[in-house]
Amino acid sequence: MASPRAVQLSLRKPTHAVCVVGVETLVNVYSDVPKGAKTFGVSGSSEVKIYMVYDPSRVAEPAGWAHWPLDANVDVVVVADTVSKDLYDFKVKVSYFESQEAAALAHSVLYLTAVDVSLDVDTGRTGKVKKGSGDKKTWRWGPGGSGAILLVNCDRDIHGSREDLHANHLKSLEDLQDMSPMVLSCGGPDELFESHKLVLKASLSDSRRLKVFCARGGTSLSNYKQVLGPRHSSYEVERHSGERAIQFYVEGLAFPDASFSGLLSLSVSLVDTRPLSEVSVFTDSVTFRVAPWIMTPNTQPPLELYVCSVTDIHGRNDKFLEDMSHLATKANCKLVVCPRAENRNDRWIQDELEFGYIDAPHKSFPVVFDSPRNRGLRDFALKRILGPDFGYVTREIEFAGASGLDSFGNLDVSPPVRVGNTDYPLGRILIGGSFPKPSGRRMARVVRDFLQAQQVQSPVELYSDWLSVGHVDEFLSFVPTSDQKGFRLLLASPSACLQLFQEKKEEGYGEAEQFDGLKHKAKRSINDILADKHLRRDSAHVQKCIDWNREVLKRELGLSESDIVDIPQLFFLKGAYAEAFFPDMVNMVVLGKYLGIPKPFGPIINGRCCLEEKVRSLLEPLGLRCVFIDDFLFYHQLLGEIHCGTNVRRKPFTFKWWNSVP
């Protein structure tokens, strides 16, 4: 806690000073003491509380009208509890004595003007500003924490080319709802402010990451003036006569990142302008934390399903769109089709963007994270998704192009988990990279740094560089369940597939054929697949890669074997990298209990695909509904599946991120 401001007294003339209501002022009773004085006493106006600060081991509190000794290091602290009506209308008198019985040798008089100067924000996280609510300078995590929250104003309330944060003036009154309110109390005699001024400040670095607008009543945009921001780190407040409080609105301009913790501070100072060099009488400060961008896992209810309309050598993907429409209807989810004119025949909408949200006590809205892959869909998020209460953020890779691992099929998030004694109430982000290989492809540092800096979904890097495309969604997915655990991790499993085929062979179905029903793919019998040494060797290699990830996921997500479901899936190596042998079933879209799963075209036994039947037997007892959808020509043959070709916006968590403890 800062030491109180000290005021020096004089026996020759009264001292005049300014104090702030509720703030301690130290009265130096030792600065001018009459000769022979040994004790002193203090009295004052009823509006001023007087406190004696002393060491009880050195001096006892005087009884009755007795005085305080001057040789015991007793400090006098005064606090005004109301605002002055006139200049210097509060009085504190210090009297000095030679003995307890003698008359006063001399008196020092202090005249005070008490003003109400306070910078207040929503430190209690209730959605409303409350004056004088605790420590405003320190931001604390957790359910008992405190500290104001700032949203990055990254939506677009008025039609234009960029997010609202790029505007140098307020474009709509609706935009104020995206900002955090801040109130400056400035009560006191008007005459005082003829010789004193209020200065609102941010550090140079903080001023580049926020803007402050001053409200002057009325409903016109002209009533709101930007006073702090990237070009203005200081503002002399324009206080009007009789004004006791001034309303401000604060917006964030940047998300937390490698060079930015997310904390921003503002201060207001009461400055005495009379000396040759201006003197700060009092400073009050507040600290904000910029709300992080938060991903939503498959366990959150779906709101919108996005898919692209495309045309290629096989024609239009109308049947796939129809299947997605039926699936969305079952899940009571809105379908959004991105037309070819907007996607430029880029079907991989999962790779292009990731939906998340930002949240503060006063406001929450979705924010789309646009990947740096920048292919046909590069403008879709900015031009078609960005809008009122729908934000946008991106990270660009400087001096180099994006790799395949920078696509957001390589970005996922787990459901909430507990690992040992550590809770992750918003889950943990999962990305793919080259570890444990000594070198290889990784997600770009600029993206990894951004994800890490959000703090509330501590990322885990998995091994995905064994795949040709290299995305985590090729070997894992999460599905919601109705039991106590609430979810299962699905992992692709060559071993489970080979075991299933071996069982079917032993049951006498060795001649049943994989790819049955496909015109464009040569069929292969179960016997042929099991006898293929190259395929079995490749499967063994892939299983080792997935098993390595399995152990990482168990350790980093606190999972047990019972939390994992092995989905039968074969891969083959093309050069050093693996590709799915048949449509990759874990690469599914999850809409509540309805799963849109790539149709595997497995061996038909007793009129049913044995792969589909196996997956149903694993997932439907968990309360899930498996819907197998043909994506072979339009997606699988291009090294992608349903998850790659769709995207889902989901409901935000009800849990508030500021109640977590990263």
Q: In the structure encoding, which two tokens stand for residue 404, read together?
A: 């395949």
Distance CA 585, CA 589 (A): 10
CB atoms within 10 A of CB 322: 11
Choice among 67, 196, 362, 471 that is catalytic: 471
Whether 351 is a known active-site residue: answer yes
Single-letter code of the amino acid located at 365: F
Do the Cβ atoms of 233 and 205 come closer than 8 Å?
no
Q: 3-class secondary structure for 147-166?
A: CEEECECCCCCCCCCCCHHH
Residue 200, SS3? strand
Write out the DSSP string of 469-500: S--GGGTEEEEE-SSSS-EEEEEEEHHHHHHH
Distance CA 517, CA 5 (A): 86
Edge-to-edge order in the sheet of strand 646-650: 334-338, 302-308, 646-650
- 174, with CB counted inside 10 A (0-12, 13-18, 19+), is middle
- 80, with CB counted inside 10 A (0-12, 13-18, 19+), is buried
Rg of the chain taking only CA atoms, in angstroms? 34
Cα separations in angstroms, 199 against 226, 274, 338: 15, 15, 50
Do the Cβ atoms of 630 and 521 come closer than 8 Å?
no
The two most distant CA atoms of the chain are separated, in Å, by 119
Choice among 284, 351, 465, 631 that is catalytic: 351
Q: 3-class secondary structure for 562-593?
A: HHEEEEECCEEEECCEEEECCCCCCCCEEECC
Q: In the structure encoding, which two tokens stand for residue 383, read together?
A: 């031009």
Distance CA 196, CA 198 (A): 7
As beta bridge partners, residue 152 has 252
Do the Cβ atoms of 330 and 294 come closer than 8 Å?
no
Distance CA 318, CA 335 (A): 14
Choice among 120, 284, 412, 473 that is catalytic: 473
Whether 423 is a known active-site residue: answer no
Whether 318 is a known active-site residue: answer no
Cα separations in angstroms, 155 against 162, 163, 181, 384, 661: 9, 5, 18, 12, 28
Terminal Cα distance for the chain, rounded: 26
Q: Which of 372, 486, 354 is nearest to 412 (CA)?
A: 354
Cα separations in angstroms, 144 against 124, 358, 456, 614, 661: 9, 21, 17, 48, 11
Distance CA 427, CA 418 (A): 9
- The sign one gets for the Cα dihedral 118, 124, 130, 134 is negative
Whether 471 is a known active-site residue: answer yes
Active site residues per annotation? 351, 471, 473, 644
